[in-house]
Amino acid sequence: MSAIQTWACFLLWIGFAVQDKTPDVIVTCVVSEECVLPCSFQPGSKETIEWFRQEVMVYKFEREDGDGGDDGGDSDDDEEEHFEHEQFAGRASVFPHLISRGNATLIVRRSGLKDRGTYRCHVHTSQGEHHAKVIVKVEAPIRGLSLELSRLSGYEEMKCTVRDVFPAPRVTWATEPTTFEDLRPVTRMLADKQGLYTVDSRLKRLNGQPDLIYICKVTTSYGGPAWTSSLREREIRGAQGRDLTIPCSAPPYLNRPFLHWSFSNGKDPSHILTYDSRSGDSVSSPPWDNHVELDGFRVPFGDGSLRLMDPKPSEHTGSYTCVFSLPHNTHTERTDVTIEDSAGGRSTSEEPSYWWVVGLVIAVLVVALVGMLAYLKVKGGSSKPRNDPEEATELHLVKDSTADGNLNESSPLTVEGTNGQSGLQTALS
Q: Domains plus CATH for the chain?
A: 17-139 (2.60.40.10), 141-222 (2.60.40.10), 226-348 (2.60.40.10)
Do residues 215 and 176 make contact, with C-beta atoms less than 8 angstroms apart? Answer: yes
Residue type, 193: K
Rg (Cα) of the chain, in Å, rounded? 48
CB contact burial 391-415 (16+ within 10 A = b; e otherwise): eeeeeeebeebeeeeeeeeebbeeb
pLDDT at 275: 93
Q: Which residues of the chain have pLDDT under 70?
A: 1-22, 64-81, 343-356, 381-429
The DSSP element (H or E) to which 5 belongs, if any, is: helix 2-19
pLDDT of residue 79: 52
- The Cα 188–Cα 198 span in angstroms is 8
Q: What is the pLDDT of residue 218?
A: 96
- β-strand partners of 324: 259, 331
pLDDT score of 37: 96
* DSSP β-ladder status, 128-139 and 25-30: parallel
**142 Cβ contact list (under 8 Å, min separation 6):** 162, 165, 169, 218, 220, 224, 225, 227, 328
Task: Give the number of other CB atoms < 10 A from CB of residue 378.
Answer: 10
β 227-239/329-340 pair status? parallel
What pTM did the predictor assign?
Answer: 0.67
Distance of alpha carbon 364 from alpha carbon 4, whole angstroms? 122
Per-residue pLDDT tens over the stretch 309-332: 999 999 999 999 999 999 999 999
Instruction: Give the pLDDT score at 22.
Output: 58
Cβ burial, residue 338 (10 Å; 0-12/13-18/19+) = middle
pLDDT for res 405: 45
pLDDT digit string (tens) for 266-297? 878 899 999 998 888 889 998 898 889 998 88
